[in-house]
Amino acid sequence: MTRTLIVGGSVGGVRTAQALRAGGYDGEIVLAEAEAEAPYDKPPLSKGLLTGSSGADDIRLLTREQADTAGIGLRLGVRATGLEPRGRLVSFDDGSSIGYDHLVVATGAAARRSPWGDIDGVHVVRTLAGADALRTDLLGGGPLVVIGAGFIGAEVASTGRRLGLDVTMADPQTLPMTRSLSTDVAGAAMAMHEAAGVRCLMGVGVTGITGRKGQLTVTLDDGTELRAATVVVGIGAVPNDGWLAGSGLTVENGVVCDEYCRAVGTTHVYAVGDVARWFDRARGAHVRAEHWTNAVDQAACVAHNILRPGNLRAYEPVEFVWSDQHGWKIQVVGDTSGSAATTLLGDPTADRRFAALYADGQGLLRGAVVVNWPRVMVQCRKALREGTAWSDLEPGLRAVANAASRPETKA
């Protein structure tokens, strides 16, 4: 009997196991996870878990009962410490080792640690335990300072306001979420945060954090001192690939993979999710993406390639990410970089529902940012998958916009 070993209980790891079983894989599947917790979903950690609208049981990806039913061997609380590809063996911190026929690396990424030291009351958001500890502190009240205005920081700022806290968000960038949003849309997002009561201090860095929980001081590089009861640091993530040192795999900001999500130089080691840096044919370069949908889609691709080694499928995604902030459902698909959108449907500065569309040099849609408008997002994702010409797409979307006399209540 063959064995597929999946290291990491991330959504990519769990979905790979499930897709293998759904595809008819009759070998042994072992899923090993460093946390003692049964696998859980990460996006709710900065939203529902903090407000209390969802609990740990609501975000489980795989319970022991579900694993048993699916024939998935679930090993919790064991951290991988080494890999021997030639011997097809993974070692763990409890002294055990597991052999495999196929290995899937799904260890995800960890929040970048605070460079200002480990201080009580200063949090990062990446694990269930971390979110629980942060919620406890937020419920204690007092000012919240969020360092970093990416998606995680912006979501935590939104959650803080929902809990009735005084919230300040600071970032060296001049606008929030600039890794995913063009300048014009990022400006609208900052206006949305300010209208919701978030104090946005952009274009400033943090030079230090002092004090203790409930009595913290955040010092900015312009000399400003911010008082805080709680601080959240959201300054990015780093792939959990340290355990692969010495394995012989190419590890450079994640596991470097070919277009089939196989670790380069191997035929039996795959990587999925935040830890994978695969060769994207469309860009002609290796890419690492920290998106939920990327992990899910990669899992399906890897399961297919394990099941059908004679008919490998290249991973060619249409990037998609979403975020909930202050009642805005922000959805981003494709490439939305640049200074301004090619076309705006609605007014980002005045409307709670709008779409920013981006055309490429070949007359095709290259990306879209859609806020509270699911019907438009469906059309944009379809257009990106099918390579619809911009000239064919834009009139239809404008017709949808012109016909929208009132907010949609459902997709």
pLDDT tens-digit readout, 263-311: 999 999 999 999 999 999 988 999 999 999 999 999 999 999 999 999 9
CATH of 3-110+238-307, one of 3.50.50.60, 3.90.25.10, 3.90.226.10, 3.40.50.300: 3.50.50.60
User: CA 322, CA 307: separation in Å to the nearest integer?
Assistant: 31
What is the band of 208 on the pLDDT scale with cuts at 50, 70, 90? very high
* Res 361: pLDDT: 86
CATH number, domain 327-403 = 3.30.390.30
User: 108-148: per-residue pLDDT in tens?
Assistant: 999 999 999 999 999 999 999 999 999 999 999 999 999 99
Residue 400 reports pLDDT greater than 80: no
Q: What is the pLDDT of residue 314?
A: 98
Work out the pLDDT band at 411, boundaries 50, 70, 90.
very low
- Comma-separated ranges of CATH 3.50.50.60 domains in the chain: 3-110+238-307, 113-235
> According to the CATH classification, is domain 113-235 in 2.115.10.20?
no
Q: For the whole prediction, is pTM greater than 0.95?
A: no
DSSP letter string over 79-94? -EEEEETTTTEEEETT
84 and 247 in contact (C-beta within 8 Å)? yes
Examine the pLDDT at 407 and tell me if it is beyond 60: no
Considering the chain, what is the average pLDDT of its residues? 94
Considering only the C-alpha atoms of the chain, give the largest distance between any 2 of them, rounded to a whole number of Å. 65
C-alpha separations of 156 from 104, 125, 126, 302 in Å: 32, 9, 12, 33
The helix (run of H) or strand (run of E) holding residue 48 is helix 48-51
CA 127-5-102 angle, 5° bins: 135
- Which residues make up the CATH 3.30.390.30 domain(s) of the chain? 327-403
Q: Are 223 and 135 in contact (CB under 8 A)?
A: no
pLDDT of residue 404: 64
